[in-house]
C-alpha cells in the first residue's frame, strides 16, 4: 500500500508560490558542503527544504554545525559559519529517530516530500529503517538521492571519504601541481563543492523526469566518479593513445598544452605574496605583451611565434618575472586588459570580496538574518534569472528551530501534541 499524499502532482507536493522550484518539498538529511551545497541551490530557488536533525547530539552529524569561523567568537552548534553559509533558506527540525514516535513523524514528512536527500556513508539511512525499499513504499513516486564518496556498490562501498580523498582518488589532486614536485592538490574541497553540484543536478534531472512521467527513482551518486569525469581529455589520451598522465613533464603546473599557449603562467609581483596570471593566446597577444613590456629582449624574433615561445618557456617565464616583480599586480592586470590580453591578479579574499566590481555588481555576497548570529554575509549564487531569480535572506536554521512550525503547518499537530512530543524527547 502506498501512503502517498493525494494533494501532490507531478510538479511536486508543495503549493506553487511563484518561485522556480516552489512546488518541490525536500526531506533533507544532507550535511557538510557535499550534501548541503546541493539543497542550498534548490532552497534559494524556492524549494521547501526541511533539514532533519538529531536532537540527542545537537545535529552534530553535520560537523560544520560547530566548526569555525565564528561571529564574535560565539561557539556552539548554532554558530558554525560554514554551516550557516551552506544552509541558508532551509528550515530545520530536530527529530529523535531512536524513538518509534520519531520514526512515525519522519514517515509522515517523507509521505509529503518529493525528494529524500542524504550524503551519509553508504547504508546509514537503511540502518535506520528508511532505505530505498521503505521510501518507495511510503511514496511510490519518491526521488531518493544518496551521495557518498564511492557510491553504494563496488569494492570500496564501505570506505569513507571527504573532499581531499575524493580529489586524490579521482585524479584531480594529481593534475594540480608542478612537474618534479609532489602534488599541490586543491587547497579546499573542490569535490565537496562539485559533488554538491552533481547532487543538485541529479535531483533536478530526477524532478524533470518525474514531472514528465510521474516516476520516481533512487539516484546513486559517487562523488569520486563525478570527479573522474572532470579530466576527460587526459583519459582519452590514455584510452586512445596509451599515453598516461603520469609521465615526464606532467602535471603542467600553470602552463597550457591544450590549447598551447606561452607565456601562460602566474608571475611574482611587488608586494607580499602577490602574483599575476597572464595567458598569451596567440601571436597577436604576444605582440601586445611585447609592446607593453617595452624592453629590448621582448622584441627578439624568437618570441614572435608560438613555436619559439614554447621552445624556451623557462627562459621566457624568467624574463616575464623579472619584469613583473617590481610591479603592482593590479597595475599589470589593468594594462594587459586594456591591451586586450587575458590577465588577472591572483586575488586574495578581501580583494575579490570587497574591491571587485565583478562580484559586487553581481550581488554575489548577500546578507542573511540568522536567529543567533545576526546579520551575516554568505556566498550567493553565480546566476541571475530574469523571472524567477534566487533569494537568499534567511540564515541557516538553529538546531530544531522550525520543529513546531513544520509539524504544525505540514502535519497539522496542535499545541498539546507538540508539548507532549517535546516532553517525551521525540523532538
Residue 87 CB, nearest approach to other proteins (Å): 12
**From CA 212, how far away is CA 204, in angstroms rounded?**
12
Select from 89-97, 201-209, 300-308, 410-418 the region that touches other proteins (CB under 8 A): 201-209
Footprint of other proteins on 67-86 (CB under 8 A) = 68-71, 81-82, 85
Q: State the number of binding residues for other proteins (CB under 8 A).
A: 155
* Contacts with other proteins, 280-309, as mask; x by CB under 8 A: -x----------------------------
**CB closer to other proteins, 230 vs 290:** 230
Residue 426 CB, nearest approach to other proteins (Å): 27
- State the SS3 of 70-85: CHHHCCCCCCCHHHHH
**From CA 225, how far away is CA 232, in angstroms rounded?**
12
Q: Locate the DSSP E strands across 19-136.
A: 25-28, 48-53, 91-94, 115-118
Footprint of other proteins on 368-407 (CB under 8 A) = 376-388
**From CA 396, how far away is CA 393, in angstroms rounded?**
10
Residue 294 CB, nearest approach to other proteins (Å): 21
**CB closer to other proteins, 357 vs 412:** 357
**From CA 264, how far away is CA 316, in angstroms rounded?**
10
**CB closer to other proteins, 67 vs 408:** 67
Residue 79 CB, nearest approach to other proteins (Å): 10
Angle 32-44/190-213 helices, nearest 10 degrees? 50
379-384 contacts: CB < 8 A, separation 24 or more? 379/85, 381/41, 381/44
Residue 182's CB is within 10 A of a number of other CB atoms, namely: 8
**Torsion, Cα of 148, 150, 154, 155 (10° steps):** -120
Q: Fill in the DSSP letter of residue 249.
A: T
**From CA 43, how far away is CA 40, in angstroms rounded?**
5
**CB closer to other proteins, 102 vs 263:** 263
Residue 83 CB, nearest approach to other proteins (Å): 10
Among positions 123, 151, 312, 327, the unique one binding other proteins when judged by CB under 8 A: 151
DSSP string for 206-242? HHHHHHHHS--EEEEEEHHHHHHGGGHHHHHHHHHH-
171 binds other proteins (CB under 8 A): yes
Footprint of other proteins on 211-270 (CB under 8 A) = 211-213, 215-222, 224-226, 228-241, 243-246, 251-254, 256-261, 264-268
Residue 316 CB, nearest approach to other proteins (Å): 15
**CB closer to other proteins, 131 vs 404:** 131
Footprint of other proteins on 17-56 (CB under 8 A) = 20-21, 23, 33, 41, 45
Residue 292 CB, nearest approach to other proteins (Å): 14
Among positions 13, 87, 173, 403, the unique one binding other proteins when judged by CB under 8 A: 173
**CB closer to other proteins, 165 vs 421:** 165
Burial classification of residue 198, based on how many CB atoms lie within 10 Å of its CB (0-12 exposed, 13-18 middle, 19 or more buried): buried
Residue 103 CB, nearest approach to other proteins (Å): 26
Footprint of other proteins on 95-134 (CB under 8 A) = none
Residue 8 CB, nearest approach to other proteins (Å): 13
375: part of which helix (H) or strand (E)? strand 374-377
Contact 74, 373 (CB under 8 A): yes
**CB closer to other proteins, 326 vs 386:** 386
**CB closer to other proteins, 38 vs 298:** 38
Residue 425 CB, nearest approach to other proteins (Å): 23
Considering all CA atoms of the chain, what is the largest pairwise distance in Å, rounded to the nearest integer? 86
Footprint of other proteins on 174-193 (CB under 8 A) = 174-178, 181-190, 192-193
Strand partners, 222: 148
The residues, any chain, with a CB within 8 Å of residue 307's CB and separated by 6 or more, are none
Amino acid at each position: 500500500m502506498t501512503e502517498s499524499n493525494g494533494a501532490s502532482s507531478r510538479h511536486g507536493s508543495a503549493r506553487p508560490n511563484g518561485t522556480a522550484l516552489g512546488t518541490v518539498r525536500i526531506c533533507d538529511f544532507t550535511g557538510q558542503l557535499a550534501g548541503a551545497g546541493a539543497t542550498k541551490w534548490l532552497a534559494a530557488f524556492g524549494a521547501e527544504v526541511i533539514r532533519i536533525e538529531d536532537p540527542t547530539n545537537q545535529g552534530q552529524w553535520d560537523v560544520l554545525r560547530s566548526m569555525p569561523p565564528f561571529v564574535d567568537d560565539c561557539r556552539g552548534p548554532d554558530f558554525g559559519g560554514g554551516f550557516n553559509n551552506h544552509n541558508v533558506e532551509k528550515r530545520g527540525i530536530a527529530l529523535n529517530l531512536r524513538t518509534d514516535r520519531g520514526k512515525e513523524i519522519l514517515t509522515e514528512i517523507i509521505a509529503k516530500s518529493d525528494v529524500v536527500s542524504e550524503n551519509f556513508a553508504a547504508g546509514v539511512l537503511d540502518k535506520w529503517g528508511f532505505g530505498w525499499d521503505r521510501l518507495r513504499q511510503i511514496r511510490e513516486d519518491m526521488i531518493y538521492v544518496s551521495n557518498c564518496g564511492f557510491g553504494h556498490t563496488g569494492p570500496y562501498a564501505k570506505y569513507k571519504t571527504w573532499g581531499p580523498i575524493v580529489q586524490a582518488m579521482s585524479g584531480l589532486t594529481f593534475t594540480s601541481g608542478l612537474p618534479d614536485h609532489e602534488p599541490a592538490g586543491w587547497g579546499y574541497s573542490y569535490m565537496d563543492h562539485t559533488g554538491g553540484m552533481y547532487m543538485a543536478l541529479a535531483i533536478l534531472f530526477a524532478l524533470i523526469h518525474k514531472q514528465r512521467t510521474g516516476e520516481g527513482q533512487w539516484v546513486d551518486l559517487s562523488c569520486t566518479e563525478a570527479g573522474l569525469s572532470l579530466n576527460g581529455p587526459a583519459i582519452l589520451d590514455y584510452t586512445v593513445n596509451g599515453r598516461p598522465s603520469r609521465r615526464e613533464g606532467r602535471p603542467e603546473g600553470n602552463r597550457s598544452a591544450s590549447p598551447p599557449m606561452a607565456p601562460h603562467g602566474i608571475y611574482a609581483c611587488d608586494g607580499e605574496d602577490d602574483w599575476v596570471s597572464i595567458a598569451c593566446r596567440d601571436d597577436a597577444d604576444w605582440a601586445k605583451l611585447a609592446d607593453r613590456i617595452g624592453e629590448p629582449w621582448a622584441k627578439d624574433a624568437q618570441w614572435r611565434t608560438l613555436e619559439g615561445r614554447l621552445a624556451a618557456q623557462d627562459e621566457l617565464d624568467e624574463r616575464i618575472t623579472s619584469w613583473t616583480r617590481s610591479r603592482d599586480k593590479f597595475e599589470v592586470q589593468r594594462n594587459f586588459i586594456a591591451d586586450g590580453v587575458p590577465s588577472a591578479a591572483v586575488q586574495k579574499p578581501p580583494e575579490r570580496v570587497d574591491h571587485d566590481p565583478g562580484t559586487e555588481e553581481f550581488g554575489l555576497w548577500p546578507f542573511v538574518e540568522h536567529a543567533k548570529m545576526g546579520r551575516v554575509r554568505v556566498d550567493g549564487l553565480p546566476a541571475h534569472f530574469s523571472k524567477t531569480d534566487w533569494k537568499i535572506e534567511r540564515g541557516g536554521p538553529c538546531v530544531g528551530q522550525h520543529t513546531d512550525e513544520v509539524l504544525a503547518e505540514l502535519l497539522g499537530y496542535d499545541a498539546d501534541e507538540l508539548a507532549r512530543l517535546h516532553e517525551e524527547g521525540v523532538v
